[in-house]
Amino acid sequence: MRSGRPINGAVWALGTMSGTSLDGVDAAMVLTDGERILEFGPTAYRPYSADEQATIRAALGQWPGDPEVEPAAAVVENAHAEVMARFSGAEIAGFHGQTLAHDPQGRGTHQAGNGDLLARTLGLPVVWDFRSADVAMGGQGAPLAPFYHFALARHIGAEQPIAILNLGGVGNVTWIDPRQTAPEQAGALLAFDTGPANAPLNDLMLRLTGRAVDEGGALAATGRADAALIDRFLTHPYFYRMPPKSLDRNDFHAALDVGHLSPADAAATLTAAIAAAVARGAEHFPTPISRLLVTGGGRHNATLMAELSERLRIAAEPVEAAGLDGDMLEAQAFAFLAVRVARGLATSGPMTTGVAALVGGGRVSRP
């Protein structure tokens, strides 16, 4: 791709992800043809400083042209350029950017960061703006990892339906039938956002301790969940919508008001609410799953993992149990999707984002 040649076989692709938890930028390389995963490559992580996090946080909910967007975009672009420059050997890169606002039924979707700038800086073709085409065609624009999840299920040799649950700022789940031969096939995938995940819990911990994490679920483990609040939370209209469906980071702020609770009980309630939302979402799975693999920061929360296992009545396992890297899975996904875009393959479809037809999203910027 450096010379502009088309991608026909497998290439090393570099992908990045900066999620709604606002912790930093993950970067990872994958050897792939956009259909199979042949090899996992090196990875890197570049945390955001407290000041950088504050700059991005100030822009959450804003749209292009709003006052805080330009400073946030500069932070995102600089951090990505810094971590991506550490890699060599990539022929193409996938740059997700930082989601600031997501309103697929209204104003659309907004990821800060310009792929043109990164392509010039890195001297590498960069695929970016993955979500806009899907939203423009009536889709939710999220989640986008399911086509990669399908490749992972086949890569690990799954023979029966499994689910991959990503617990980042927002939770999303992919139900996968690896007996199908391609993610585009009917019955291969169902994907949707389950509800809030780490975002409200991280926000609570940031207010309480100045550090945006309940390490290992330790605080939640000492508290008692408010069952009545969780029951009210589950009456939110979102849970009555059929998937595919997606959320913005802040959609559940009012429904998860734990300000009247003690810190431990607040953490326990938010943790239980995450698992309750996933369990409600699992009611939509076409068939029962043989395995629940959890990726994202939430898999490190032992209290949350126990809640998931209890409510879904199946062991919640970190993806590492299947030989995968939960810290880098989403970055790998955008490396994989970049190759699919370059090959003209679909990146989303009716059962992953609700779009009317298969869509190959993403713009390609060349150096």
Q: What is the pLDDT of residues 3-51, one digit of tens each?
A: 345 667 899 999 999 987 788 999 999 999 999 999 999 999 999 999 9
Rg of the chain taking only CA atoms, in angstroms: 19
| Residue 234 located in a structural domain | yes
CA–CA gap between residue 130 and residue 144 (Å, rounded): 8
Helix (H, G, I), strand (E, B) or coil at 328: coil
Do 56 and 171 fall into the same domain? Answer: no
- Which candidate, 46, 30, 43, 253, places its Cα nearest to that of 145? 30
In terms of domains, do 130 and 234 share one?
no
Query: Tens digits of per-residue pLDDT, 130-174?
Result: 999 999 999 989 889 999 999 999 999 999 999 999 998 889 999
Tokens of 79: 């951090």
User: What are the backbone dihedrals phi and psi of residue 320, each rounded to the nearest 5 degrees, phi first?
Assistant: -60, -25
> What's the average model confidence in pLDDT over 220-249?
93
Q: Does pTM surpass 0.85?
A: yes
What does the pLDDT look like over 253-263, one tens digit per residue? Answer: 778 999 999 99
Residue 309: which domain range?
A: 157-322
- Whole-number average pLDDT of the chain: 94
- Interval 71-117: pLDDT, tens: 999 999 999 999 999 999 999 999 999 999 988 888 899 999 999 99
- The rounded distance, in Å, linking the Cα atoms of 243 and 234 is 16
Q: Is 360:340 a contact under the CB 8 Å cutoff? A: yes
Count of domains for the chain: 2
Query: Does residue 202 share a domain with residue 337?
Result: no
**Whether residues 161 and 235 fall in one domain:** yes
Task: Kindly state the average pLDDT of the residues 188-209.
Answer: 93
Residues 293 and 257 in one domain: yes
CA atoms within 13 A on the CB side of 168: 27
CATH number for the domain harbouring residue 69: 3.30.420.40
Q: Is residue 98 included in any domain, yes or no?
A: yes
Q: Are residues 118 and 217 in the same domain?
A: no
Residue 173 sits in the same domain as residue 301 = yes
3-state SS track over 192-206: EEEEECHHHHHHHHH
- Nearest CA among 174, 192, 287 for reference residue 246: 192
